[in-house]
């Protein structure tokens, strides 16, 4: 009986996973985790949040905005340097993160230190290495501007910006940043074909990577140690800083791989600038520390061609409708009024 079941399992999985160009409908999107009941979706909130996201008014010297580190065309991360830069050119300790499909996330930041999207924005506004501005001062600045008074009134029924409403508005914009129209998505829906290399890449990916970079979001939302040696100049132990537990040392949140072609450099400290280096890491340079994730204990073996195939597959995760969606861009109209 048991063996029959196993055979059935193998058969059924191979049926699903074997992708001979057939349509594959087996991957469904999970429910969103964001609780809209406390912050119901509305267009006026989304537009206000979008304006705030692009407005350097949120920083002390009015020099940088969220979008300085989270650029749309690069999957809402920034690509020119490994560690993010804040005002006065101060260097942060981590690589910026790509922002997409946040409505499904269960925690935020590389170490998951922020438990709710609505609370995330507080960090860049008040972190000394980022925007270095006090929330109260931000509210004061916003409340002086008629265009924001009007926008807050429209969105929340009150002209005066409060911490709560400021955070709710930015969340609303971020929640709109959904990437689900890549070639991969079209392939799953039967609207596009994969070539042989991409198909082979998908297969290899599912065998070696998908336990952490789980479809369709390409993250399990868990914390894992993927074998990166500790950078002695940063001494960043990741999740351990939050939980104070030795077993969490060097664990980081599994990042999504959607739009990965454009979101370099890679890893929490931006140590790799090319996907090839990432793959070389997984095959050759895994550090065997005590917290290494079990999936990586057995060495991953990939030939040079197979690596190229995986990369070809990863390129199918590029979603131009997302990267160039004018709804997510700089809100020229909002800022040109007055």
Q: Where does this chain bind ligand HEC (CB under 6 A)?
A: 53, 58, 64, 66, 68-70, 84-86, 92, 94, 96-99, 102, 105, 108-111, 120-121, 124-125, 130-131, 170, 174, 208-209, 211-213, 224, 226, 228, 252, 254-255, 257, 260, 263, 266-268, 275, 278-279, 282, 293, 295-296, 300, 310
163 binds, among ligand HEC, another protein, none (CB under 5 to 8 A by kind): another protein
What lies within 8 Å, CB to CB, of 249 at 6+ separation is 225, 237, 238, 239, 240, 289, 291
Nearest alpha carbon to residue 60 among 148, 122, 166, 137:
137
What lies within 8 Å, CB to CB, of 193 at 6+ separation is 21, 187
**How many other CB atoms sit within 10 Å of the CB of residue 230?**
15
Q: Residue 239 burial by CB count (10 A; 0-12/13-18/19+): exposed, middle or buried? A: buried
CA–CA separation, 201 vs 314, rounded Å? Answer: 8
Nearest alpha carbon to residue 64 among 56, 72, 76:
56
CB closer to ligand HEC, 102 vs 178:
102
Shortest Å, Cβ 320 to another protein: 33
From 8-16, 17-25, 126-134, 175-183, give the range in contact with another protein by CB under 8 A: 126-134
In total, the chain counts a number of residues equal to 338
Look at residue 53 and give its three-state secondary structure.
helix
Q: Which positions from 183 to 212 touch another protein by CB under 8 A, shown as an x/- string?
A: ------------------------------
CA–CA separation, 167 vs 116, rounded Å? Answer: 11
CB closer to ligand HEC, 69 vs 312:
69
CA–CA separation, 215 vs 63, rounded Å? Answer: 38
Q: Which positions from 36 to 55 touch another protein by CB under 8 A, shown as an x/- string?
A: --xx----------------
Q: Is 87 in the site for another protein (CB under 8 A)?
A: no
In the set 24, 79, 103, 114, which binds another protein (CB under 8 A)?
A: 114
Shortest Å, Cβ 211 to ligand HEC: 5
199 binds, among another protein, ligand HEC, none (CB under 5 to 8 A by kind): none
Q: Is 297 in the site for another protein (CB under 8 A)?
A: no
- Phi/psi for 254 (5° steps) reads -65, 120
| DSSP code at position 246 | G
Please report, as ranges, the residues that interact with another protein according to CB under 8 A.
35, 38-39, 111, 113-116, 118-119, 122-123, 125-127, 134-136, 139, 162-164, 167-168, 241-244
């Amino acid at each position: 009986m048991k063996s029959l079941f196993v055979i059935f399992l193998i058969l059924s999985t191979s049926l699903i996973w074997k992708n001979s160009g057939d349509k594959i409908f087996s991957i469904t999107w999970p429910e969103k985790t964001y609780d809209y009941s406390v912050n119901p979706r509305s267009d006026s909130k989304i537009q206000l949040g979008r304006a705030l996201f692009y407005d350097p008014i949120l920083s002390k010297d009015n020099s940088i905005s969220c979008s300085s580190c989270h650029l749309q065309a690069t999957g809402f991360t920034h690509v020119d340097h490994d560690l993010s830069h804040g005002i006065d050119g101060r260097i942060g300790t981590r690589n910026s993160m790509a922002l997409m499909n946040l409505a499904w996330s269960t925690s935020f930041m590389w170490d998951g230190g922020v438990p709710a999207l609505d609370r995330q924005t507080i960090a860049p506004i008040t972190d000394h290495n980022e925007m270095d501005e006090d929330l109260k001062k931000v509210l004061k600045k916003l409340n002086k501007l008629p265009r924001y008074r009007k926008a807050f009134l429209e969105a929340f029924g009150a002209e005066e910006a409060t911490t709560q409403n400021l955070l709710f508005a930015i969340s609303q914009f971020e929640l709109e940043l959904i990437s689900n129209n890549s070639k991969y998505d079209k392939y799953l829906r039967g609207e596009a074909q994969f070539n042989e290399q991409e198909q082979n890449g998908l297969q290899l990916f599912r065998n070696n990577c998908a336990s952490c970079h789980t479809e369709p979001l390409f993250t399990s939302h868990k914390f894992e140690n993927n074998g990166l040696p500790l950078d002695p100049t940063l001494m960043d132990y990741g999740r351990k800083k939050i939980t104070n537990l030795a077993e969490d040392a060097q664990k980081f949140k599994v990042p999504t791989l959607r739009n990965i072609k454009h979101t370099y450099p890679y890893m929490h400290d931006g140590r790799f600038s090319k996907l090839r280096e990432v793959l070389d890491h997984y095959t050759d340079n895994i550090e065997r520390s005590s917290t290494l994730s079990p999936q990586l204990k057995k060495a991953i073996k990939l030939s040079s061609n197979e690596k190229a195939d995986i990369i070809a597959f990863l390129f199918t995760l590029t979603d131009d409708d997302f990267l160039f969606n004018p709804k997510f861009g700089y809100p020229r109209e909002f800022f040109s009024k007055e």
